[in-house]
């Protein structure tokens, strides 16, 4: 699997988790949060150039930031492929 494909899979999983993250059921939201944190960790593990502690923490705190960081990383990979 290419890095771009991996990022798209992570993005899809995050989108699928959205409704569970905001669930009123504490158990459901806690499990969704744990899965979300795993997805953030996978992204940073697979994309070493993106990793900073501050960025990772921002991704854990703000889902929108994580989504935009993944978009930027995909764009970087496409530019790298063209060059």
Complete DSSP assignment for 41-72: HHHHHH-GGG--HHHHHHHHH-HHHHHHHHHH
| Entry pTM | 0.90
What digits encode the pLDDT tens for the residues 4-60? 999 999 999 999 999 999 999 999 999 999 999 999 999 999 887 656 788 999 999
Give how far Cα 24 sits from Cα of 14, 28, 35, 39, Å: 18, 8, 17, 22
Domain count, the chain: 1
Six-digit token pair at 65? 């930031």
CA–CA separation, 50 vs 41, rounded Å? 12
Domain enclosing residue 66, as ranges: 3-82
pLDDT at 83 over 90: no
């Amino acid at each position: 699997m290419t890095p771009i494909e991996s990022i798209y899979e992570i993005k899809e999983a995050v989108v699928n988790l959205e409704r569970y993250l905001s669930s009123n059921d504490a158990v459901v939201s806690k499990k969704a949060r744990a899965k979300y944190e795993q997805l953030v960790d996978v992204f940073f593990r697979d994309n070493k150039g993106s990793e900073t502690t501050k960025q990772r923490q921002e991704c854990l705190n703000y889902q929108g930031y994580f989504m935009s960081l993944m978009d930027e990383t995909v764009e970087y990979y496409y530019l790298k492929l063209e060059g």
